[in-house]
Structure 1
Amino acid sequence: MKKIVLFASGNGSNAENIMAHFEKSGQGTVVGVFTNNSHAKVIERAKKFQVPTYVFNKTELSDDTVLNNLQELQPDLIVLAGFLLKFPVHIINAFPNKVINIHPALLPNYGGKGMYGMNVHNAVLEKKEKETGITVHYVNEHFDEGEFIFQANVAIENCTTAEEIAQKIHELEMEHFPKVIVRLLEG
């Protein structure tokens, strides 16, 4: 059975969707949820699926603490699902082509440091874009610059608020992210 580890910093709706998908499908198993936020809702969501959680601080992410935990789990894929810290190069190097992220825009637009969640949706609204979407990409040493794996777009010309855009993006994430993970696990 292919093993998945999730990283999330907050609400964890994407993480929950992934855990639910793999619990039902049997196409893999989520063996751990890592978070840098001891108050993150993702912890409650992981408990619902009896997935162990690992709470860490920035020092433990930078030193070998998180890396050692990951090496014990031996994941086939590390999935950043709403993880807001820069992912360390030493972990990326230990798991080459096994760390992926989802971004709530069509990269290379609206990517980079500080471009996450509502920051992205507000920027898209401000530019009066007619469409936006999601990008699943490999993680490298730069924010949102890794090789693209998948993109999906959605029309937003009728959206008048960033919240409306966020809802459309959320629907794309829920539909596509688990399927992309399955494809990657199947090679």
Structure 2
Amino acid sequence: MSDKAKETPKKIVIFASGSGTNAENIIKFFQKSQNIEVAAVLSNKRSAGALKRAYNLNVKALLFDREALYESHDVLNILKDIKPDLIVLAGFLWLFPKRIIREFSGKIINIHPALLPNYGGKGMYGSRVHEAVIANKEKESGISIHYVNENYDEGQLIFQATTQLENTDTPDSLAQKIHKLEYKHFPEVIQQLLEKEK
């Protein structure tokens, strides 16, 4: 490996629609790294906590609308300018556009709060997933990290981790268990994927 390759950190761009706890966790994890950095956090919601968390951690925070993602090339051009080594969807709720998937083939991953292929697909996110898992009296749930393709939650699986359910679990208590798995494993899987590229 050349000295130049050592000097240039790998870049991550995070897309998030919600409170941004996963985005914040990933940013903090890689702030200790010399080799990997979060270059920007992008969100489709002005009220998303993810933008504020990124801003507070001195990471570029960008808001975009539906037109910028699907109709114009604005979001694609931002990504081309940053040249991320990995695009990470951390609670991003819109279907990712085909042209960005083509441009960054094999470089876009998502995390889902259930054990895919179960409890995935359009409309299955957040508490809706946990409510369905509990309603079906499942014995376990977990997280799935997968590559992004043109359909919700159908890309190739990279990693799964499980947690056991108790009879007393509620959607909220299950959400807490899932968050623990996300915070522990998501940054580690991102790191492994980027280090494998060297």
The TM-score range, normalised by the shorter chain, is: over 0.9
Q: Distance in 2 between matches of 1:105 and 1:159?
A: 18
Q: Distance in 1 between matches of 2:29 and 2:167?
A: 31
1:27 offset after TM fit, Å?
A: 3.7
1:157 offset after TM fit, Å?
A: 2.4
Match of 2:16 among 8, 11, 20: 8
Moved over 6 A (4+): none
* Partner residue in 2 for 1:54: 62
* Partner residue in 1 for 2:169: 160
* Partner residue in 1 for 2:110: 101
Runs of 5+ in structure 2 lacking a partner? 1-8
Over the residues paired in the alignment, what is the CA RMSD in angstroms? 0.8
SS of the aligned residue for 2:131 comes to: helix
Is 1:180 the counterpart of 2:189 in the alignment? yes
SS of the aligned residue for 1:25 comes to: coil
Is 1:134 the counterpart of 2:176 in the alignment? no
Work out whether residues 129 and 157 of structure 1, in 8 Å CA contact, stay in contact via their aligned partners in 2. no
Match of 1:125 among 109, 134, 137: 134
1:10 offset after TM fit, Å?
A: 1.1
Q: Distance in 1 between matches of 2:34 and 2:185?
A: 17
Deviations for 1:52-91, whole angstroms, at most 9, x for unmatched residues?
A: 1110001100121100000000000000000011111100
Is 1:86 the counterpart of 2:95 in the alignment? yes
Is 1:65 the counterpart of 2:56 in the alignment? no
Number of paired residues? 187
* Partner residue in 2 for 1:28: 36
Q: Distance in 2 between matches of 1:12 and 1:58?
A: 19
> % of aligned pairs identical?
56
1:11 offset after TM fit, Å?
A: 0.1
The letter of the residue matching 1:47 is Y
Q: Distance in 2 between matches of 1:158 and 1:77?
A: 39
Match of 1:38 among 4, 27, 46: 46
The letter of the residue matching 1:136 is I
Q: Distance in 2 between matches of 1:180 and 1:159?
A: 31
1:159 offset after TM fit, Å?
A: 3.8
Q: Distance in 1 between matches of 2:83 and 2:167?
A: 45
Work out whether residues 156 and 165 of structure 1, in 8 Å CA contact, stay in contact via their aligned partners in 2. yes
1:26 offset after TM fit, Å?
A: 2.8
Q: Distance in 2 between matches of 1:182 and 1:14?
A: 15
Q: Distance in 2 between matches of 1:163 and 1:139?
A: 27
Q: Which one has a bigger Cα radius of gyration?
A: 2
The letter of the residue matching 1:163 is D
TM-score (norm 1): 0.98
Q: Distance in 2 between matches of 1:76 and 1:141?
A: 20
Q: Distance in 2 between matches of 1:160 and 1:2?
A: 40
* Partner residue in 2 for 1:115: 124
1:140 offset after TM fit, Å?
A: 0.1
Q: Distance in 2 between matches of 1:23 and 1:16?
A: 11
The letter of the residue matching 2:16 is A
